[in-house]
Amino acid sequence: MAAELPQETGNLFVLPRPDDVETARSKLLSNLPSAGLGTGTANRHLRDDVVPGLNKPSQSSTFYGFVTGGVTPTAAFADNVVTEMDQNVQVHLPKETICTVVEDRATSMLCELLDFHPADWPHRTFTTGATASNVVGLALGRQFVIHEAQQRAQIEHLSTVADAGLFSAMKAASLKSIQILTTVPHSSLRKAASIVGLGRSSVVDISRKDKLHQFDLSALAWHLKQDCTASIVVISCAEVNTGLFATHGDDMRKIRELCDQYGAWLHVDAAFGLLARVLPESEEFREVKDGVAGLELADSIAGDAHKLLNVPYDCGIMLSKRLDLAIEVFQNPNAAYLNTASSETTASTDRAIPSPLNIGIENSRRFRALPVYATLAAYGRQGHRDMMERQIRLARAIAAAIVARPKYFELLPMGEDSEICRRLQNIYIIVLFRAKGDKLSTELVKRINSSRRIYISGTTWQGKPAARFAVASWRVDVERDLSLVIQVLDEVAASSTD
């Protein structure tokens, strides 16, 4: 069935003018009111003073900053229902509430959308975002690799991180260090490494010299072989500055074999890359599909539903093959009042649904599954595929427009792909570029954003300022949005004094 998505105005983002921010700040309460303003006054205060832009859609810009994602109409409806219900989804109570069953269906339909077998991913849950999913992935990896090292050393009394702690478990395994081997990692991976006690400096970038995003497989083998060292391998799927993928074609299988050989855990950070799996098998998307080939070989995968699945914040995706390890790590022990017969099922077709509090970070949690369930129900595979196709086509059209203005702009990175046509086929949803003149190059993001019609974000590439478009909203209309982007780029180029 075709998706029925209303084609409203652009992906609206209300961009306050700097003086609006100042005015709003001056109107914020400085202290706790003792009597309270009352509901009516407080609501008016929010609408008129705190987020006044909500009343002025004509002042909004089309947003291409960071990688954010929009909200589909059905997901927005579902999210309001979630707030209205205020249901706490932490314990599986199948005779009292359907929430955990909805969560299970939402995660299994999500697996179908992504072309995974739900049965291969018994540990699946919604987190607050990909950062939290990376924390969960590294915590599972840490539990696994130390356990594996002890077993390989034939140690009789196994000592796990979850019970004995990192220090004792590593000592029992005669391990001196745990390393995280990756290429072009997202900043949240180092943060996750710090949270789980492995440390930011345990993240080792083993990129190829000629292709920064890809693994140097011989360096990977060399690191994995190190004595007294256990490893977690993390795939950047895709990298946030360029949208390029770390693996292609057969790479995942080769990396999987190395991980099996050396007892390593294989985690994928697919915050926004994951949705590339809904694309059809066609020449147009072959390069991108190749970048998400073989993800089913991973032990765990982090994703973001609040990015390209277009549900509201906060919704991250966590999939792993090891429910047993998840329960070892996340079990909320000895809380009799939270007990449930977790093996109880509502119908003979349901699997035994684990209580969310025993397989993830939080105990109390929002009913995050409902917007995901709703958007998958409303638009199905076809609708979500269509959203992705439109977003990628817009990104490629923007890239082509940049390439067509060589006097002013330069698409990045070009590397050895001097063939423009091939480079465009590698573009997923991100377009990294810079201006050619030095002055325009430093001011590019500011000049584009001060048009107040589109908003992009800045970054650096090889030590120099660069800019990026990230297309991440279901509202994309390729022709309409491209013409707006071209207008702004041309105006900025025309005003260049370089």
Ligand X SMILES: *Cc1c(COP(=O)(O)O)cnc(C)c1O
Give whichever of 262 and 265 is closer to ligand X, judged by the CB atom: 265
Site string for ligand X, 278-317 (x = CB under 6 A): --------------------------x-----------x-
**Which among 485, 421, 493, 487 has a CA at the least distance from the CA of 455?**
485
Residue 268 binds ligand X, judged by CB under 6 A? no
Q: 420, exposed or middle or buried, with CB in 10 Å at 0-12, 13-18, 19+?
A: middle
Window contacting ligand X (CB under 6 A); options: 56-64, 269-277, 377-385, 414-422: 269-277
Closest approach of ligand X to the CB of residue 447, in Å: 26
As a whole number of angstroms, the distance between CA 311 and CA 316 comes to: 10
Looking at the Cβ atoms of 316 and 360, the one nearer to ligand X is 316
**Nearest approach, Cβ of 69 to ligand X (angstroms)?**
9
The nearest distance, CB 186 to ligand X, in angstroms, is 3
**Cβ pair 3, 390 in contact under 8 A:** no
**Element at 181 (helix H, strand E):** strand 177-182
The answer to whether 428 contacts ligand X (rule: CB under 6 A) is: no
Cβ-Cβ contacts under 8 Å for 389 (sequence gap 6 or more) = 279, 285
Q: Does 360 bind ligand X (CB under 6 A)?
A: no
Is residue 131 near ligand X by the rule CB under 6 A? yes
67 touching ligand X, by CB under 6 A = yes
Helix ranges (H only) for 46-198 are 73-85, 99-113, 130-152, 161-164, 166-172, 187-195
Task: In angstroms, give the least distance from the CB of 240 to ligand X.
Answer: 4
Figure out which of the listed residues 102, 240, 445, 488 binds ligand X, where binding follows CB under 6 A. 240
Binding residue for ligand X, selected from 89, 130, 180, 309, defined by CB under 6 A: 130
Output the smallest distance, CB 466 to ligand X, in A.
17
Contact positions with ligand X (CB under 6 A) in 165-224 = 186, 188
100 binds ligand X (CB under 6 A): no
- What is the closest distance, in whole angstroms, from the C-beta atom of residue 31 to ligand X in the complex? 32
Stretch that binds ligand X, among 135-143, 144-152, 247-255, 264-272 (CB under 6 A): 264-272
Return the half-sphere exposure (C-beta side, CA atoms, 13 A cut-off) of residue 46: 6
Q: Please, is 100 exposed, middle or buried when counting C-beta atoms within 10 Å of its C-beta (0-12, 13-18, 19+)?
A: buried
DSSP class of 279: S
| List 129, 354, 360, 413, residue binding ligand X (CB under 6 A) | 129
Distance in angstroms (rounded) separating the CA atoms of residues 70 and 474: 6
**Is 272 an interacting residue with respect to ligand X (CB under 6 A)?**
yes
Hey, what amino acid is at 311? V
Residue 86: DSSP 8-state? T
Should residue 319 be labelled a site residue for ligand X when binding is judged by CB under 6 A?
A: no
User: How many residues touch ligand X (CB under 6 A)?
Assistant: 12
- Give the CA angle between residues 295, 298, 303 to the nearest 5°: 65
> What is the number of alpha carbons within 13 Å of residue 462 lying toward its C-beta?
9
Applying CB under 6 A, the residues found at the interface with ligand X are 67, 129-131, 186, 188, 240, 269, 271-272, 304, 316
